[in-house]
């Protein structure tokens, strides 16, 4: 669908960071399919295969030449971000901020990248929202990792989140706190989303599903940590995107009391054993994995499960995709893409 074909096109663009990333790509594609304009920013960081990011962008540019605009920029670059924001033909009223230095384990190796992108970069977005508002909604990515080593399952938004196990988690918690202050001071309606292990087609090469698939196909041994005693709340990408758009459409009303800012879990709310997940990959590939069992990695958590009662109630969030279906879709995509 292009601008000229859609009579009811909402011309106010969505300003979306991390557009070449896994979740940013899928979210943008859905918005463009709905007839929205998207101004997408991404630095194409070399943290993982840049050609995969370029391929995602190619899909967006070719399918939506009239309604998608891409800018290669780093979110911590204030003048450049200001320039991109001001160049919008219509006032920007909605932000979806997904750009980040992701990954828990890499934050032990390259901590400065996390603070530059996740803290300074996040502040730049908040400053844009402050000075160029009023915004209707500022939606941003947090992470289930803020729950640290909490042992009470499922994790609820009201649980304590002051014991992060890695710097990545600390920067995401920092984003939540900075947003709370800005929402309070400058009345910016904001929603933070704590994603629980998103997976699916066009996924991230540093995530377990991708690594396992690649290694099993190559006949290489996979490393399974905590001797396989890991449990996760794997959330299919289409459900994550539905949650992000649910957040975009349901901004927090500013009643004048407190801050117009709220945080929601977005998970599948279903606890999966890592070994069952591996079995599903094996079944779909028709090939057994060679497994090396290892102890727990520093910074990692043994189990994560979301309580999504609040997102169901306020955002209409209703995850539908089983891991059986989701893993099958991923492997179909992987085999087609890397044929």
Ligand X SMILES: NC(=O)c1ccc[n+]([C@@H]2O[C@H](COP(=O)([O-])OP(=O)(O)OC[C@H]3O[C@@H](n4cnc5c(N)ncnc54)[C@H](O)[C@@H]3O)[C@@H](O)[C@H]2O)c1
Q: Closest distance between ligand X and the C-beta of residue 297, in Å? A: 16
In 3D, which of 38, 31, 34 has the Cα closest to residue 12? 38
Indicate the pairing of strand 231-232 with strand 272-273: antiparallel
- Which contacts (CB < 8 Å, 24+ apart) does range 152-160 have? 153/271, 153/303, 153/305, 154/233, 154/269, 154/305, 154/306, 154/307, 155/265, 155/304, 155/305, 155/306, 155/307, 156/265, 156/307, 156/309, 157/194, 157/263, 157/264, 157/265, 157/307, 157/310
Binding residues for ligand X, rule: CB under 6 A, are 18, 20-24, 42-45, 53, 74-76, 98-102, 117, 121, 141, 143, 195, 197-198, 204
Pick the closer one to ligand X by CB: 72 or 152. Answer: 72
Beta strands in 145-219 (DSSP E): 190-195, 198-199
d(CA 145, CA 173): 9
Q: Closest distance between ligand X and the C-beta of residue 121, in Å? A: 5
Q: Closest distance between ligand X and the C-beta of residue 76, in Å? A: 6
Pick the closer one to ligand X by CB: 35 or 126. Answer: 126
Beta strands in the chain (DSSP E): 14-17, 38-42, 68-72, 94-97, 137-143, 190-195, 198-199, 221-224, 231-232, 235-236, 261-266, 272-273, 290-293
Residues with a known catalytic role: 168
Describe the crossing of helices 208-218 and 274-285 by its angle, rounded to 10 degrees: 40
Beta strands in 51-114 (DSSP E): 68-72, 94-97
Q: Closest distance between ligand X and the C-beta of residue 83, in Å? A: 14
Pick the closer one to ligand X by CB: 46 or 286. Answer: 46
Pick the closer one to ligand X by CB: 21 or 260. Answer: 21
Q: Closest distance between ligand X and the C-beta of residue 194, in Å? A: 7
Q: Closest distance between ligand X and the C-beta of residue 305, in Å? A: 14
Q: Closest distance between ligand X and the C-beta of residue 321, in Å? A: 14
Helix (H) or strand (E) holding 215: helix 208-218
Pick the closer one to ligand X by CB: 74 or 284. Answer: 74
Pick the closer one to ligand X by CB: 115 or 291. Answer: 115
d(CA 207, CA 199): 8
* Sign for the pseudo-dihedral over CA of 26, 45, 43, 195: positive
| DSSP alpha helix (H) spans, 250-322 | 274-285, 309-315
Q: Which residue is nearest to ligand X (CB)?
A: 21
Pick the closer one to ligand X by CB: 75 or 123. Answer: 75
d(CA 236, CA 330): 10
């Amino acid at each position: 669908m292009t601008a000229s074909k859609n009579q009811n096109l909402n011309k106010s663009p969505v300003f979306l960071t991390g557009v070449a990333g896994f979740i940013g790509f899928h979210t943008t594609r859905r918005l463009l399919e709905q007839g929205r304009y998207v101004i997408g920013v991404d630095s194409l960081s070399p943290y993982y295969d840049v050609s995969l990011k370029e391929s995602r962008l190619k899909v967006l540019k070719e399918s939506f030449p009239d309604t998608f605009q891409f800018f290669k920029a780093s979110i911590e670059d204030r003048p450049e971000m200001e320039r991109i924001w001001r160049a919008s033909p219509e006032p920007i009223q909605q932000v979806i901020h997904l750009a980040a230095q992701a990954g828990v384990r890499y934050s032990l190796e390259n901590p400065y990248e996390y603070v530059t992108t996740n803290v300074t970069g996040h502040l730049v977005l908040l400053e844009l929202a402050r000075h160029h508002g009023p915004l209707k909604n500022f939606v941003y990515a947090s992470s289930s990792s803020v729950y640290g080593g909490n042992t009470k399952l499922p994790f609820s938004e009201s649980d304590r989140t002051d014991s992060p196990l890695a710097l990545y988690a600390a920067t995401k918690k920092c984003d939540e706190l900075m947003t709370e202050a800005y929402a309070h001071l400058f009345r910016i309606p904001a929603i933070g989303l704590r994603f629980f292990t998103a997976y699916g087609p066009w996924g991230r090469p540093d995530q377990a599903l991708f690594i396992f698939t690649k290694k099993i196909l190559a006949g290489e041994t996979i490393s399974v940590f905590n001797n396989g005693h890991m449990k996760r709340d794997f959330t299919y990408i289409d459900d994550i995107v539905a949650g992000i758009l649910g957040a975009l459409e349901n901004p927090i009303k500013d009643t004048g009391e407190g801050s117009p800012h709220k945080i929601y879990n977005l998970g599948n709310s279903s606890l999966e054993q890592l070994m069952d997940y591996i079995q599903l990959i094996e079944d779909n590939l028709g090939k057994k994995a060679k497994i090396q069992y290892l102890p727990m990695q520093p910074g990692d958590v043994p189990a994560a499960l979301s309580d999504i009662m609040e997102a169901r109630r306020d955002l209409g969030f209703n995850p539908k995709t089983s891991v059986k279906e989701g893993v099958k879709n991923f492997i179909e995509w992987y085999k087609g893409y890397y044929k």
